[in-house]
A and B are shown apart, each in its own frame.
Chain A
Amino acid sequence: MKARVYVTLKPSVFDPQGRVVADALTSLGYGDVKDVRQGKFFDVELEGGDAPTARQRVTEMADKLLANPVIESYRVEIL
């Protein structure tokens, strides 16, 4: 079973990297770029189990380690 966890900075947290990427896109001529938010994802491969169990396990992992709840939010997808 494979799960993907998307981790992004919360909307209330300024993302300096995303801002720089947005500025670079603007310099490339993409004048319609209003904002960019940068994030990351983790592909977690689990042994056995069903989709609901995998979702529950990976959500637990995200809470404990993959995301920092102070600044980040996450979303789990079962692949």
Chain B
Amino acid sequence: MKFAVVVFPGSNSDRDAWHAASQVLGEQAELVWHKDTALSGADAVILPGGFAYGDYLRTGAIARFSPIMAAVSRFAERGGPVIGICNGFQVLLEAGLLPGAMVRNRGIKFVSRHVHVRVEHSDTPFTAACRPNEVLELPIAHGEGNYFADPSTMTELDANRQVIFRYVTPTTSRSRDGDPGEGGDISDAANPNGSLNNIAGICNRARNVVGLMPHPERACELALGSADGRVVLQSMVKTFTERLTHHG
């Protein structure tokens, strides 16, 4: 399958995403400049992390006006899988492709460290290969990852099962043999930025657009401290392959 990785001026995780998709997973991946207007036959779109347009005005606020975003919106409307990672998540929020907004981290500081997130639902293209409630160790690196939405939006997110990742306590078992181990619980101490209800990632109602603050693409090889992120991209490949088989 083919991934398109959008490159905004100020993106800094575009190469990481390209590397994970093409070098680690062995799939096709293409960098697409933000001024392009077509996604050139991609099967999935990655909006990468970074500081698009220097985070001027608000994070993601200017990037959403990039020419490529019209193509990304059309792709998403047709059901195409789109994942926004970190700054890419912020762009999706500003573009209105996902509900809510980001505010400054509760503790003000830019937080750069590994966290644990629990996969809440595996019925999205980016979590299809995850076990129920699987806990992933992933890096975060952001100053504005404090997810906010008004109470009615929060109710809707829960009712539609749109919260896909939550920050949780570490687990004793990181093996993928089915043993859930201890931990993996939602707690205030496990919340690195003050996000409402420990939200680390959400999806849209149609479930094809996913945004998350942690960086799965930076945790696809053990040499990087964790390979837990690989399952996120593998989920996309699995979904794509199953669709091909299904449609014969």
Contacts and interface: CB of A to CB of B under 8 A. Distances in A.
Interface of A: 9, 12-17, 20, 65-66, 68, 70-71
B147 to A, nearest CB: 11
Given A70-B148, A71-B148, A20 B106 contact: no
A68 B149 CA distance: 12
Contacts of A14: 103, 106, 194
Interface of B: 57-58, 61, 93-94, 99-101, 103-108, 146, 148-150, 194
Nearest to B144: A16
Contacts, number: 37
A17 B104 contact: yes
Contact of B58 (A12, A15, A16, A68): A68
Contact of B108 (A12, A20, A70): A20
Contacts of A15: 103-104
A32 to B, nearest CB: 23
A68 B108 CA distance: 20
A15 B148 CA distance: 12
Contacts of B105: 16
A16 B145 CA distance: 12
B101 A16 contact: no
A15 B108 CA distance: 10
A70 B100 contact: yes
Nearest to A71: B101
Contacts of B107: 16
Contacts of A71: 101, 103, 148
B71 to A, nearest CB: 20
B61 A16 contact: no
B90 to A, nearest CB: 11
Given A65-B61, A70-B99, 10 more contacts: A14-B103, A16-B105, A16-B194, A66-B57, A70-B93, A70-B101, A70-B148, A71-B101, A71-B103, A71-B148
Nearest to B100: A70
A17 B148 CA distance: 16
A54 B108 CA distance: 36
A19 to B, nearest CB: 8
Contacts of A16: 103-108, 146, 194
Contacts of B103: 9, 13-16, 71
B51 to A, nearest CB: 17
Nearest to B58: A68
6 closest cross-chain pairs (CB), A and B? A70-B101, A71-B101, A16-B104, A16-B108, A68-B101, A20-B108
A10 to B, nearest CB: 9
B149 A70 contact: yes
Contacts of A20: 108
B57 A17 contact: no
